[in-house]
Chain A
Amino acid sequence: ETGVTQTPRHLVMGMTNKKSLKCEQHLGHNAMYWYKQSAKKPLELMFVYSLEERVENNSVPSRFSPECPNSSHLFLHLHTLQPEDSALYLCASSQDGTNEKLFFGSGTQLSVL
Chain B
Amino acid sequence: AQTVTQSQPEMSVQEAETVTLSCTYDTSESDYYLFWYKQPPSRQMILVIRQEAYKQQNATENRFSVNFQKAAKSFSLKISDSQLGDAAMYFCAYRSPGPSGGGADGLTFGKGTHLIIQP
A interface residues (Cβ-Cβ under 8 A, vs B) = 2, 31, 33, 35, 40-43, 45, 48-50, 55-56, 88, 90, 92, 94, 96-99, 101-102, 104-107, 109
Contact = CB atoms under 8 A, between A and B. Distances in A.
Given A43-B91, A106-B44, A107-B44, A96 B103 contact: yes
Interface of B: 4, 33, 35, 37, 42-47, 50, 91, 95, 97-98, 100-112
Contacts of B100: 97
Contacts of B46: 104
B4 A94 contact: no
A75 to B, nearest CB: 17
B102 A99 contact: yes
B110 A105 contact: no
B111 A50 contact: no
Given A90-B45, A104-B44, A40 B111 contact: yes
26 contacts: A2-B44, A35-B106, A43-B107, A43-B109, A45-B108, A48-B106, A50-B104, A55-B103, A55-B104, A56-B106, A92-B45, A94-B104, A96-B102, A96-B103, A97-B102, A97-B103, A98-B102, A99-B33, A99-B95, A101-B35, A101-B47, A101-B50, A102-B47, A102-B106, A106-B42, A109-B43
A92 B91 CA distance: 15
